[in-house]
Chains A and B, each alone.
Chain A
């Protein structure tokens, strides 16, 4: 079973709708991240969380919100989706107890906003 899972894997929605993307991990990591990737571009950080009570904005947080429901779960919400939020969204985790550690990514959610 995958260590980092994302649901849904694909979603098509309309402008103005509220959307929630969910991420779960079984790695026991404290740190979790949400990124978006646009075609031909690298990943950009939306939000990150160092633990359940610690949420931080990333490079492009406008139009998004997050919820860290438990150590293993980190959700990304689009309160009112707009077409330029059409992108590939990745969740990632990382252990928080070492200064050098890798990030582990989920398979991604492809979101299309019409």
Chain B
């Protein structure tokens, strides 16, 4: 599985956009990039995933670099409920998920 590098922590003001980066320079050509987040005292929840093209859903957007060695999760307007640990996980769909330590996002009111 590809190794990932994420900042340990980030802060954002409420209602401002947040860009959470992830480096995955050893990603294979068949790996999708998954993002999960873990709210306090809860299990992880799926956020978004993509392969090559940028992706949007109701929770977030995923911007994938052309060389696929990095990606950025974009929360367009951070809310207090978005405070969580965000995990970037490159994997093929058939494989298991390997969680690193993720990025702890703090949202400031």
Tell me the A residues contacting B by CB distance below 8 Å.
4, 33, 35, 40-45, 48, 58-59, 90, 92, 98-108
Chain B 70-109 per-residue mask, 1 if CB under 8 angstroms from chain A, else 0: 0000000000000000010000111011111110000000
Q: Does B21 touch A at the CB level, under 8 Å?
A: no
The answer to whether A99 touches B94, judged by C-beta atoms less than 8 angstroms apart, is: yes
Number of A-B residue pairs having CB atoms within 8 Å of each other in the complex: 50
The 10 closest A-B pairs by CB, nearest first: A105-B43, A42-B99, A100-B93, A102-B46, A99-B93, A43-B99, A90-B43, A42-B100, A105-B44, A42-B101
* Chain A residues near B32 (CB-CB < 8 A): 100
Given contacts A99-B92, A100-B49, A100-B93, contact A92 B43 (CB under 8 A): yes
Interchain Cβ contacts under 8 Å between A and B, 11 examples: A35-B99, A41-B101, A42-B99, A43-B97, A99-B94, A100-B32, A103-B97, A106-B43, A107-B42, A108-B42, A108-B43
Q: Does B11 touch A at the CB level, under 8 Å?
A: no
| Contacting residues of chain B (32-51) with chain A, CB-CB under 8 angstroms | 32, 34, 36, 41-46, 49
How many chain B residues touch A (Cβ–Cβ < 8 Å)?
Answer: 21
Tell me the B residues contacting A by CB distance below 8 Å.
32, 34, 36, 41-46, 49, 87, 92-94, 96-102
